Chain A
Amino acid sequence: MLMAKLWNRCLIKVKLLCLAVIILALVCNILIGLSANRLIESANKKFFKPISVQWIYYLPPNFIFLRNLSIYENNSSPGEEIIAFPTVRINLSLWRLITEKRFYVLSINCLHPAAQHYDFMRFIARNLEQILEFFRTLPLQDIQLSISNATLALPKNNNRQDKLEINLILKLAGESVSAYGFSKKKVYLQDPTDPIKPPSVMKTSPLRYAFTGSLTPYGVAVKKMELNGEGIRSELWGETNNAVSEIKGFIFANTTLKEKLYEGSGLAEKLKSLYFNLKHRFTPETLGLPGANLFIFNLDARLNFKYPDIEVERLNFSVNANPVEIKGKAHITEPFSFNFNLHSKFRNLENIKKSALKDVSLAVNANSQDKRLIAGGSLNIACLEDKNKDLPWEKIELVFRDLELTFAEHLLKTHTNWLSLFCKTDTNNYRIILDNLDTENKISENWPKIVNFSSQFYNGSLDGQASILLKKLTPVIKAELDVKNAEANKLEGILIHFSKIHGGISSRMHFLNSPRMVLEGDMHIENGYLNDFEFFKWLAEVFVLPSLRRVNFKQASSDFLVSENGAELRNMRLESEDLKLEGYFKLGAEDLTSSKMSLLFSYGLLNESPKFAPLLKVLQKELDLIAFDFQLAGNLHRMNFKWLQSDFKDRVQKAIPNFIERKIERNIEEFIAGLGQGS
């Protein structure tokens, strides 16, 4: 009986308490509802961009909820929001509310905020100063800020929608600052045959991050900043002191890993995430990275932030034991600009012992003009030592001006006003200049990357396609090129002998850089002429045929091969009125030549020569076309010459006695010796 009475009394008290809480909640919510507009107006005045809130309500004992909070760029029209927060939960300190009669926020939890990736990044870039200023004006107090399941939507690609999911917890407790969280990519695949069916969802494994540090009078001391994913592991530490940040650390990465997608979020994955989050509430953890092939050690950076400028005073590190130094500056508000210089004494990312030491310098400067990013720069690579000639070149220089980048529908397009590529090998120097080079490349994570390109090319055009594959960490480039109607004599940068060839040249070529550098193809020139072309100039001097110094032709063609061993012209063919030529010509290391040519001269042409005229008299015009087959060898500037057997030679030998043969041979030898001394 007594118990029943006591129980009834308790029940009544509980009911009264509940009623009181309900009444309190109702009263608070009515008050909030009445002053909601004022609250939102006040928030808009304090915040630098328009915001709107659909609902504000209070839940006992100490929670305030904001429903459908949105931040806008300009005006607060529905659909124009940059970031949308469906639910924001604010946890107030009840104690301070009662004792100090003020609202003290203990934690803010943003649930499922969402934004479009491009709009969000543009918003951050445009308003970075205001965002930093806003956070600077906030009162410094212990607080926890958490973002749960935030999504950044990437542009849709056909039936695939990628979204980045971000989870982050940031805590301020006294001077100590900590943060941890993880991100993953969600892939929504719509069945194109059934648009009504909900898309299937796949996820990548998460990328986890953690930060521990402390506030100092002038900035933040970073005890540890970790990044941990399937293909990356990094740890950084340092401090910021006013505008200057000094960071040290290391990074491991596995660049061979391809993105793996998992269906749903399995229990194992959830437990792993929970484990990681729990661990990072208290102590950071060191984890290894199996399969790492990229090691960045001794990272030492000093950055100077003077908004809107960021100066990289130094960024030094070693990547797979290759030292790298970077310096640069960036202006991060419009008009954007940056410039940086990179220098490295580089061997190889894979097998250092077998690789030659190279001096690598890269300088890039860029600025935005009329919403376009225009860049210029240079890349210089010079071999400092020669280890078993593992590289076919000694030096490479690439200079480009007015490179413009644009992104459009998963395509990366570039336009470069001017580009020069110079390559020095031990056999030759090569220089190519391209005007108005356009490239187009589909942005995807797959390899090889395919790049289509076109350019003006020495008053003609160059079109082609290149595929770039990463073999471990070495790029393997294959390209097919098509040249139309370029001015042949302007190609002397590729091969010096082109300076002697005039006419419109068309060519199809194939290029490969690994395992050996090779450029091969065919070329055709129509209605051109050779002017003092090395071989004909030599013939003109030896056989006193001045008209060979300029040879007009209807058609000339040849296959060619350029490699680390030298250059070759194969299947050469040339047709002119008085002359036909077939053969091959090779130029190797140390200017050593190897060649066989078959020349058909007209009777009239040969009759011009005082050396041939007597021979032709002997033959008494039996032949209209006279064939000479030659072999050449030795140094390009002092070639050995051999007259090969032919019908004409047989006839000449039969017609003249041996002593005349010997006399002719002696005369020619003396004459050529005289030429050599003269030159």
Chain B
Amino acid sequence: MKNKILSIGFLLILLSPKPAFTQTDYEKYHSALKAIKTGQEDFAFLDLLSLTKEDPQSKYRLVSLFACGEYYFHKFNYRQALNIFSEFIEDYPDSKIKPYALFYILKIAKSWKNAEMVEILENKIRDMKQVILVFKETNEYKYRYTSILGRKYKLIYHIDRVEFNVDGEIVEQVSY
């Protein structure tokens, strides 16, 4: 009898789901990717958010942080989106996808009609690159980016403006 109880208990422990805090960053990341594939963006977000907070040294943190910002933005939670993107820029100032984070912050500033913030961000975006068009009509930012939530980003530089393009659509632009 005693042995039966012990065996059942052992079996239960083996079969029970592991608590989240024991997952590695790799597991969280891939769990999120799986959830995204099956259309469960909300579950994916939870994993990614957990990764950003609990695994600061993780190699997946950069893309996860960006994805969390995206998620908040598209859920219209601009305050949290601003916090995440600001954290992104602070933690990864040399990241190649930093311009896309700046554009998201610009869109948030415009929605809040914060003229001072808009001016600062537009100046930062203008200073990112000096555009030289000798034979081409436009110049594209070297680093296109597809986020883990599936959105495709690119920046297109014209002589007098830079366009922020998401999934083939111009969603924001800054004039020179």
Assembly CA distance A635 to B130 (angstroms):
9
User: B90 at the A/B interface (Cβ < 8 Å)?
Assistant: no
Q: Convert B132-158 into 0s and 1s, putting 1 for each residue whose CB lies closer than 8 angstroms to a CB of A.
A: 111110000000000000000000010
Contact in complex: B159, A640 (CB < 8 Å)? yes
Enumerate chain B residues within 8 angstroms of A633, measured Cβ to Cβ: 131, 159-160, 176
Among residues of B, the one whose C-beta sits closest to the C-beta of A670 is: B132
Contact in complex: A672, B132 (CB < 8 Å)? yes
Shortest distance between the CB of B155 and any CB in chain A (Å):
14
Interface residue ranges of A630-661 to B (CB < 8 Å): 631-635, 638-643, 649, 653, 661
Enumerate chain B residues within 8 angstroms of A672, measured Cβ to Cβ: 130, 132
Among residues of B, the one whose C-beta sits closest to the C-beta of A652 is: B135
Contact in complex: B135, A631 (CB < 8 Å)? no
Contact in complex: A665, B130 (CB < 8 Å)? no
Assembly CA distance A528 to B176 (angstroms):
32
Contact in complex: B136, A641 (CB < 8 Å)? no
Shortest distance between the CB of B118 and any CB in chain A (Å):
12
Contact in complex: B132, A635 (CB < 8 Å)? no
User: A531 at the A/B interface (Cβ < 8 Å)?
Assistant: no
Contact in complex: A643, B130 (CB < 8 Å)? no
User: A668 at the A/B interface (Cβ < 8 Å)?
Assistant: yes
User: B94 at the A/B interface (Cβ < 8 Å)?
Assistant: no
User: A577 at the A/B interface (Cβ < 8 Å)?
Assistant: no
Contact in complex: A640, B135 (CB < 8 Å)? no
Among residues of B, the one whose C-beta sits closest to the C-beta of A660 is: B135
Contact in complex: B133, A638 (CB < 8 Å)? no
Shortest distance between the CB of B124 and any CB in chain A (Å):
12
A641-B131, A641-B133, A664-B135 are known; give 14 further A-B pairs, CB within 8 A: A593-B176, A633-B160, A633-B176, A634-B131, A634-B176, A635-B176, A638-B127, A640-B130, A642-B131, A642-B133, A642-B159, A664-B134, A665-B135, A672-B130
Assembly CA distance A594 to B126 (angstroms):
14
Contact in complex: A668, B160 (CB < 8 Å)? no
Shortest distance between the CB of A394 and any CB in chain B (Å):
16
User: A41 at the A/B interface (Cβ < 8 Å)?
Assistant: no
Interface residue ranges of B54-113 to A (CB < 8 Å): none
What 3 A-B pairs come out closest when comparing CB atoms? A640-B131, A642-B159, A633-B176
Shortest distance between the CB of B83 and any CB in chain A (Å):
27
Enumerate chain A residues within 8 angstroms of B159, measured Cβ to Cβ: 631-633, 640-642
Question: What range describes how many residues of B lie at the interface?
Answer: 10 to 19
Contact in complex: A640, B134 (CB < 8 Å)? no
User: A385 at the A/B interface (Cβ < 8 Å)?
Assistant: no
Shortest distance between the CB of A648 and any CB in chain B (Å):
13
Among residues of A, the one whose C-beta sits closest to the C-beta of B159 is: A642
Q: Convert B119-130 into 0s and 1s, putting 1 for each residue whose CB lies closer than 8 angstroms to a CB of A.
A: 100010011001
Enumerate chain B residues within 8 angstroms of A673, measured Cβ to Cβ: 130
Would you call the interface of chain B mostly helix, strand, loop, or mixed?
Answer: loop
Enumerate chain A residues within 8 angstroms of B130, measured Cβ to Cβ: 634, 638-640, 672-673, 676
**Chain A CB within 10 A, most for which of B119, B131, B132:** B132
**Chain B CB within 10 A, most for which of A590, A640, A642, A661:** A640
Enumerate chain B residues within 8 angstroms of A594, measured Cβ to Cβ: 160, 176
Contact in complex: B134, A668 (CB < 8 Å)? yes
Enumerate chain B residues within 8 angstroms of A639, measured Cβ to Cβ: 130
Shortest distance between the CB of B1 and any CB in chain A (Å):
80
Contact in complex: B123, A590 (CB < 8 Å)? yes
User: A669 at the A/B interface (Cβ < 8 Å)?
Assistant: yes
Enumerate chain A residues within 8 angstroms of B160, measured Cβ to Cβ: 594, 631, 633, 640
Assembly CA distance A676 to B130 (angstroms):
9
Contact in complex: A643, B176 (CB < 8 Å)? no
Contact in complex: B127, A640 (CB < 8 Å)? no
Contact in complex: A665, B134 (CB < 8 Å)? yes
Assembly CA distance A638 to B136 (angstroms):
19
Assembly CA distance A485 to B85 (angstroms):
57
Assembly CA distance A653 to B123 (angstroms):
34
Instruction: Pick the contact of B135: A638, A643, A676 (CB < 8 A).
Output: A643
Enumerate chain A residues within 8 angstroms of B134, measured Cβ to Cβ: 643, 661, 664-665, 668
Contact in complex: B136, A665 (CB < 8 Å)? yes
Instruction: Pick the contact of B126: A635, A642, A661 (CB < 8 A).
Output: A635
**Chain A CB within 10 A, most for which of B131, B133, B135, B157:** B135
Enumerate chain A residues within 8 angstroms of B157, measured Cβ to Cβ: 640
Enumerate chain B residues within 8 angstroms of A640, measured Cβ to Cβ: 130-133, 157, 159-160, 176
User: A143 at the A/B interface (Cβ < 8 Å)?
Assistant: no
Instruction: Pick the contact of A661: B123, B135, B176 (CB < 8 A).
Output: B135
- What are 22 residue pairs bridging A and B, where the CB atoms are less than 8 Å apart in the complex? A590-B123, A592-B176, A593-B176, A631-B159, A632-B159, A633-B131, A633-B159, A633-B160, A634-B126, A640-B133, A640-B160, A641-B132, A643-B134, A643-B135, A649-B135, A661-B134, A661-B135, A664-B135, A665-B132, A665-B136, A672-B132, A673-B130
Shortest distance between the CB of B67 and any CB in chain A (Å):
31
Q: Convert A581-599 into 0s and 1s, putting 1 for each residue whose CB lies closer than 8 angstroms to a CB of B.
A: 0000000001011100000
Instruction: Pick the contact of A643: B119, B126, B133 (CB < 8 A).
Output: B133
Shortest distance between the CB of B159 and any CB in chain A (Å):
4
Assembly CA distance A665 to B133 (angstroms):
7
Enumerate chain B residues within 8 angstroms of A641, measured Cβ to Cβ: 131-133, 159
Shortest distance between the CB of A664 and any CB in chain B (Å):
6
Contact in complex: A668, B132 (CB < 8 Å)? yes
Shortest distance between the CB of B117 and any CB in chain A (Å):
15
Enumerate chain B residues within 8 angstroms of A668, measured Cβ to Cβ: 132, 134
Assembly CA distance A664 to B131 (angstroms):
15
Assembly CA distance A592 to B136 (angstroms):
23
Among residues of B, the one whose C-beta sits closest to the C-beta of A643 is: B134
Assembly CA distance A594 to B176 (angstroms):
8
Among residues of A, the one whose C-beta sits closest to the C-beta of B130 is: A638
**Chain B CB within 10 A, most for which of A635, A639, A642, A653:** A642
Assembly CA distance A454 to B115 (angstroms):
44
Enumerate chain B residues within 8 angstroms of A590, measured Cβ to Cβ: 119, 123
Enumerate chain B residues within 8 angstroms of A643, measured Cβ to Cβ: 133-135
Shortest distance between the CB of A667 and any CB in chain B (Å):
9
Among residues of B, the one whose C-beta sits closest to the C-beta of A645 is: B137
Assembly CA distance A633 to B123 (angstroms):
13
**Chain B CB within 10 A, most for which of A631, A633, A635:** A633
Shortest distance between the CB of B17 and any CB in chain A (Å):
53
Assembly CA distance A590 to B160 (angstroms):
15
Assembly CA distance A641 to B160 (angstroms):
9
Among residues of A, the one whose C-beta sits closest to the C-beta of B161 is: A633
Shortest distance between the CB of A543 and any CB in chain B (Å):
11
Enumerate chain B residues within 8 angstroms of A642, measured Cβ to Cβ: 131-133, 159
Q: Convert A567-609 into 0s and 1s, putting 1 for each residue whose CB lies closer than 8 angstroms to a CB of B.
A: 0000000000000000000000010111000000000000000
Assembly CA distance A664 to B136 (angstroms):
11
Enumerate chain A residues within 8 angstroms of B126, measured Cβ to Cβ: 592, 634-635
Among residues of A, the one whose C-beta sits closest to the C-beta of B135 is: A661
Assembly CA distance A32 to B157 (angstroms):
108
Assembly CA distance A672 to B134 (angstroms):
12
Contact in complex: A635, B127 (CB < 8 Å)? yes
Assembly CA distance A676 to B131 (angstroms):
12
Among residues of B, the one whose C-beta sits closest to the C-beta of A638 is: B130
Enumerate chain A residues within 8 angstroms of B136, measured Cβ to Cβ: 665
Q: Convert A344-366 into 0s and 1s, putting 1 for each residue whose CB lies closer than 8 angstroms to a CB of B.
A: 00000000000000000000000
Among residues of B, the one whose C-beta sits closest to the C-beta of A641 is: B132
Assembly CA distance A638 to B33 (angstroms):
42
Enumerate chain B residues within 8 angstroms of A676, measured Cβ to Cβ: 130
Shortest distance between the CB of B160 and any CB in chain A (Å):
5
Assembly CA distance A673 to B128 (angstroms):
12
Enumerate chain A residues within 8 angstroms of B127, measured Cβ to Cβ: 635, 638
Assembly CA distance A673 to B157 (angstroms):
16
Enumerate chain B residues within 8 angstroms of A664, measured Cβ to Cβ: 134-135
Assembly CA distance A668 to B133 (angstroms):
9
Among residues of B, the one whose C-beta sits closest to the C-beta of A590 is: B123
